[in-house]
Amino acid sequence: MVLELKVNGERYELDAPVGRTLAETLRDDLGLTGTKIACAEGHCGACTVLLGGVPVYSCITLLHTVGEREVTTIEGLRDHPLVDAFVKADALQCGFCTPGQIVAASALVEDNPHPSSEEIRHAMAGNLCRCGTYPKIEEAIATWQD
């Protein structure tokens, strides 16, 4: 199936089989390996990308459902102040979930630049981190504009 995909401001034309996920396409067809796959079934959030500004799990988003919506991956957010905020707060350990965390957090602060602790916890509860960097993630998001 031939389709067009908008990712991080670029247009791509792709020929992908029906059933291919957005995460597979990003990583294997476009080489955008910043998006990680940790569970591949929509349980952990490591594959989070923005679809029209809304965070989604790209591992369970079928490519053919994306349509005209702009896809934003961590590669499109490398200059976002959250990246520095995460590094400064030490909000990453092994780092495998981190791109997904930052993408999810970017949607939160876009809507709500000064989220409360409660709001951060609510918005980020769909992004698991096995290393347990949560306190520092909360700190990074709370201080992202500093």
Partner 1 sequence: MARLIRTEKEVEGRYEDVWLVVDEDALDQWPPGPQEIVGRPATRVTGPLRARGEARYTADLRLPGMLHTAVLRCPHAYARVRKIDFERALVAPGVRAAIGPGDAHVLTAEPGFQGEAVAAVAADTYAQARAALELVDVEWDVREPLIDPDEAVRRGQLVSEASRYERGDVDRALAEADVVVEAEYRTQTVLHNSFETHQSICEWRGNSLDIYISTQFIWGVRDEVASQLGLPPDKVRVVCEFMGGGFGSKNGADDHTFIAAELARRTQRPVRCALDRREENLATGNRNATIQRLTAGARSDGTLVALAGEYVNATGWSGWSAPTDGPMKVLYDCENVRTVLSPAKVNTPPMKAFRAPGFVEGTFGLECLLDELAARLEIDPLELRRRNYAQSTDDRPFSSKNLMECYERADPHWQRRDEVRARSEGPWKRGVGLASQVWYGGGGPPSYAWVRVGSDGRATVVTAMQDIGTGTATAMTQIAAEELGLPLDRVELVLGDSARGPYASVSAGSSTTPSMGPAVRSAAADAARQIVEIAAQRYDKEERILSLQGGKIVSADGGSWPIEEVVDLLEDAQILGKGARGPNPAGMQVLTFGVQVAEVAVDVETGEIRVERVTAIHDVGRVINPLGASSQVEGGIIQGIGHTLSEDRLLDPSSGAVLTPTLDAYKLPTIADVPEIVTELLDIPDEHLTNLGSKGLGEPPIVPTAAAIANAIRDATGADVRSLPITREEMLRALREAAERKQEKRGAAATV
Give the binding site for partner 1 (CB under 8 A).
27-28, 32-41, 43-44, 46, 73-75, 78, 83, 86-88, 90, 92-99, 102, 120-122, 124-138
Neighbours of 57 (CB within 10 A): 25
Radius of gyration of the chain (CA): 15
d(CA 17, CA 14): 10
Nearest in space to 109 (alpha carbons), one of 81, 133, 132: 81
CB of 142 to partner 1, least distance (A): 12
CB of 145 to partner 1, least distance (A): 17
CB of 117 to partner 1, least distance (A): 10
Contact of 59 with 47, CB cutoff 8 Å: yes
Closest CB to partner 1 among residues 67, 143? 143
Closest CB to partner 1 among residues 28, 67? 28
